[in-house]
Structure 1
Amino acid sequence: MKDSPSPAFAQLANAFTRRRSNHDRKLPPGPEGLPLLGSMVDVRTDALSMFERGRREHGDTVRYRFGPFDMVAIHRPQDIRTVLLERADDFHKSPTYQGLELVVGKGLLTSEDQFWRRQRKLMTPAFHHKRLLGFCDHMVRCSTELADEWDELVANHRGAQLPIVDLHTQLLSLTFRIVGLTLFSTELSDKAGDMGPALATVLEHANHLAVSMLLVPPPWVPTPRNLRFKAAMQVVDDVVQGIITERRNSREDTGDLLSMLMAATDETGQIRMSDRELRDEVATLVLAGHETTAQALTWTFMLLSRHPVIERRVVAEIRAVCGDRPPSMEDLAALDYTGRVIDEAMRLYPPAWLIERQALVDLELDGYSIPAGTLVAISPWTIHRHPAHWPNPEGFDPDRFLPETVAARPRYTYLPFGGGPRQCIGVNFALYEAKLVLATLLQRFSVELVSGQDLSLEAAVTLRPAHGMKMWLRSRA
């Protein structure tokens, strides 16, 4: 008996079959691209420019070819609403998320259908507003301790110039520490000295898979990259599983997110998460929780460095609300302008810069046929710069997020956390953290971009500075 074709081969064969059957349909316009490859080279070299150019030259609904696959980028709010909300069940995550699945397993980010609904329902109470407020002390304490380290750095600096830090690296370390304390009530770096470097290797590999499309060896091939990833993943899994096992054995409720997830049950009170399910959700929260917030804060500090008038207004608000004491959870609502600055930074530099779905059925968007199997791309990077909804789209203007301005704008024109039922479950956690970290550090320091550095963007799983973000540190004291 002949071997059945591999899933990858079957997927390619189905894609070619769909391509042949598309000639009778009204498909969206788009770039021709290269023979056979289509726009594969463009998406790998500069995906942000590719999506911007596509919208500018072909309109709000653009079709790209990537080898045998078709992708349609949509920009109309009503179409985005259709995909993310009204017909969400007619779409799955795209196959490009398979690389992330190697890292986070079947967590909320990658799971589908009934299992995803069950997990989302089990996890939602852990992210209730009142529960999240209990984590604010960790956020402020960790930020204050980083500011103390900066104080020491400034005090010990003997050169004529101010000390320089890679702010991106510093913020990644800070948010990693915060997620460890809020998720596990522990310092993750104390659990295993290699945890931080292992997590960096795992995340770099996920980024690599995201930008490489299909042009990578499968994970079972023993390439040096795959072997490094496997070893790093083993470190991460050992630490996470060790914490879960320790908590199971002690039966201690520490009030952190892990305790809440371990105690979560369905409506019958009988079904709880298994250790494997806990591992996958925890891995998702560790990776997504610290990475995206660090990117948002990095770009916020960069923009404030370039717009000193706005920075002075933020600092004045922090001083008016907090005086000389560190910010607290009670200050969150009063730090209104600070929040608008973060919102505007995420408009210009959305950490989750691309949302992808795969159509499970034939449908129509903007008058065009979207055959089953088509990848549908929603790019916050491009949508957040759409001139139909954002006057002076490249400008940095936090007052775009005044309540009356937000109310006048269509709902699906701002998507830093996605939308619909699969909107990021940690949106409030991320916003509280970003506001408290920014307020704590700005209260004591101004940061100034080091001139001449390469600030190229890396559009992978998240939108990152490709070469870090070097900043001068200046103490306000």
Structure 2
Amino acid sequence: MPLHHALPRLLRDPMAALVDFGNRYSGEIVRLNLGTLRPYLVTHPDHLVQILRDTNSYIRDGESLLWRPIRRAVGDAILVTEGALWESSRETLQPLFTAKRVETLVDRMAGAIGEAVDAFDEPARTGEPVDVAALMSQIVCRATTRVLFGRKISVEDALQINVGLETITTTMIPRLLAPRVPYNIRMPGDRAFHDAVRRIDEVILPIIRKARREPDDGDDIIAALCRPRQDGTDPGEAQIRGDVVAMFSTATETTIAVLSWLWPVLEAHPEVAARLYAEVDRVVGSGPVDRASLAELRYSRMVLDELLRLWPAGWMIPRTAVREQVLGGVRLEAGATILVSPYVTQRMEAFWERPEAFDPERFSPDRPKRQYRYSYFPFGGGPHQCIGQYLFLLEAPIIMATLLSRFRFRLGKAADLRPRLGASLKPRANQLTLVPRDRSPIP
């Protein structure tokens, strides 16, 4: 893809451009000429499975141009490292996210979510508009601090961290778009980036230092990361800090980002909203969401899967070829940058019927199995698949059902389904008015 075709389109609308490039070449590997950077866009599931599973040949290179902005925020954290550092952090955290353990957290999670939703009874009663991002952040941060961080981080501090992370994900965009600009040259957003990192550290570091001075046997993320590792090594403060920030980010940002799309989608698709409301009313009614409810919220899960297809939180997964490779008949040189994007593959006409349409029915259990396993991979794949996937798939339906069992809503302005570019994809800023279910004219 020559420079005069690729670069202007990517600068104008990078998401639409990447999808168009994938569709134009029907899953063939495309090299994008961006001047000094010439990455390979890989979209076909047969190629993706090789890249994501072979972590010896295709790595997350923290020194590569597309990973460096992330590494500035989290250091040598589980999100960006490979080898012994990654294995140490993964082995430490994995027991906290097994399906068996996460299922024991359902009642605790539902209680925290219910308490967070209680705070919106008053604005619903008075008709005061609520910011979508603030609504989702309040709910997710309360649940996250309760079930993953053992209340070591207060809800207020969690919200402050979340604001800092939002600033970081926004201000790193200029660096991602101009990856070869040296860091000693000031760019727009740099000052806000450093201020946000400092504010996060002012919250996180005292908590880590206390946990290291006064270790406990808690089953939360901070307690686990502050213990000596299985190989007997004692991780330093910087390593723990990076992993805590990375895990907080993934535990909150993914859920906030994906569920923020629920409101404009239901506004734009009233037939989906009606069916979703009917299921929640039938399964949950006016009672709390419990473990038994989750198995019955089948259409809710289909809606959630379709949200993940169209707006995966981790929309770009860069990789670096360690050595020369041949992939799909194309020779990739050692050190080549490879762009893997769930957003692109999950919207391609070669793998999905009417890919731009919001259609939860494509995830109905009655539908035939998809031809390609990696045509849908919103949590990544291979050894680096998102560690919190199972937690998200329990937490998100609880949040949806709790909100929809108590409120109907009106958006402040017309639904806009164009994503706002950032480290994760979110809808354009919007407000909604919550209406108590028993007072709403909406059935």
Please report the TM-score for the alignment, with normalisation by the length of structure 1: 0.83
Q: Displacement of 1:475 after TM fit? A: 2.0
1:200-349 equivalent positions in 2, closer than 5 A = 200-210=166-176, 212-214=177-179, 216=181, 218=183, 220=184, 225-263=189-227, 265-266=229-230, 270-349=232-311
Q: CA 1:82–1:224 in structure 2 vs 1: closer, same or farther (change >3 Å)? A: closer
Based on CA coordinates, which of the two structures has the bigger radius of gyration?
1
Q: CA 1:349–1:195 in structure 2 vs 1: closer, same or farther (change >3 Å)? A: closer
Q: CA 1:98–1:471 in structure 2 vs 1: closer, same or farther (change >3 Å)? A: same
Distance 2:314 2:121 in 1: 32
Most deviating of 346-355 and 172-181? 172-181
Q: Displacement of 1:237 after TM fit? A: 1.6
* Cross-structure match for 2:46: 78
Distance 1:74 1:326 in 2: 44
Equivalent residue letter for 1:118: S
Task: Give the secondary-structure state (helix, strand or coil) at the position aligned to 1:39.
Answer: helix
* Cross-structure match for 2:106: 136
Q: Displacement of 1:436 after TM fit? A: 0.8
Q: Is the 8 A contact 2:407 2:436 kept in 1?
A: yes
User: Match for 2:334 among 372, 377, 390?
Assistant: 372
**Alignment RMSD (CA, Å):** 2.6
Task: Give the secondary-structure state (helix, strand or coil) at the position aligned to 1:153.
Answer: helix
Equivalent residue letter for 1:206: M
Equivalent residue letter for 1:256: D
Q: Displacement of 1:196 after TM fit? A: 4.9
**1:357 pairs with 2:323:** no
Q: CA 1:128–1:192 in structure 2 vs 1: closer, same or farther (change >3 Å)? A: closer
Q: Is the 8 A contact 2:171 2:188 kept in 1?
A: no
* Cross-structure match for 1:88: 55
* Cross-structure match for 2:433: 472
1:373-452 equivalent positions in 2, closer than 5 A = 373-403=335-365, 405=367, 407-452=369-414
Q: Is the 8 A contact 2:137 2:159 kept in 1?
A: no
C-alpha deviations, 1:279-314, integer Å up to 9, x for none? 111100112221111111011232122222222222
Question: What are structure 2's unaligned runs of at least 5 residues?
Answer: 439-443
* Cross-structure match for 1:160: none
Task: Give the secondary-structure state (helix, strand or coil) at the position aligned to 1:405.
Answer: coil
User: Match for 2:138 among 173, 178, 187?
Assistant: 173
Task: Give the secondary-structure state (helix, strand or coil) at the position aligned to 2:387.
Answer: coil
Equivalent residue letter for 2:142: R
Q: Displacement of 1:371 after TM fit? A: 1.7
Q: Displacement of 1:232 after TM fit? A: 2.5
Distance 1:191 1:351 in 2: 23
Distance 1:43 1:169 in 2: 30
Most deviating of 448-457 and 117-126? 448-457
Q: Displacement of 1:153 after TM fit? A: 0.9
User: Match for 2:17 among 50, 74, 81?
Assistant: 50
Equivalent residue letter for 2:32: Y
Q: Displacement of 1:250 after TM fit? A: 3.0
Distance 2:246 2:329 in 1: 37
Aligned length: 433
Most deviating of 231-240 and 178-187? 178-187
Task: Give the secondary-structure state (helix, strand or coil) at the position aligned to 1:448.
Answer: strand
Distance 2:370 2:71 in 1: 38
Q: Displacement of 1:216 after TM fit? A: 4.9
Q: Displacement of 1:223 after TM fit? A: 6.5
Q: Displacement of 1:179 after TM fit? A: 2.4
Q: Is the 8 A contact 2:113 2:140 kept in 1?
A: no
Distance 2:307 2:155 in 1: 30
Q: Is the 8 A contact 2:258 2:311 kept in 1?
A: yes
User: Match for 1:126 among 70, 78, 96?
Assistant: 96
* Cross-structure match for 1:20: none
Question: What are structure 1's unaligned runs of at least 5 residues?
Answer: 1-30, 158-162
Equivalent residue letter for 1:72: Y
Distance 1:224 1:58 in 2: 35
Q: Is the 8 A contact 2:169 2:422 kept in 1?
A: no
Q: Is the 8 A contact 1:400 1:406 kept in 2?
A: no
Q: CA 1:451–1:72 in structure 2 vs 1: closer, same or farther (change >3 Å)? A: same
Identical-residue share of aligned pairs (%): 28
Q: Displacement of 1:194 after TM fit? A: 5.2
Most deviating of 447-456 and 47-56? 447-456
Distance 1:432 1:207 in 2: 31
C-alpha deviations, 1:173-197, integer Å up to 9, x for none? 3323332333322353545995454
Q: CA 1:177–1:205 in structure 2 vs 1: closer, same or farther (change >3 Å)? A: farther
* Cross-structure match for 2:441: none
Q: CA 1:74–1:198 in structure 2 vs 1: closer, same or farther (change >3 Å)? A: closer
C-alpha deviations, 1:155-179, integer Å up to 9, x for none? 223xxxxx43221332133323332
**1:155 pairs with 2:120:** no
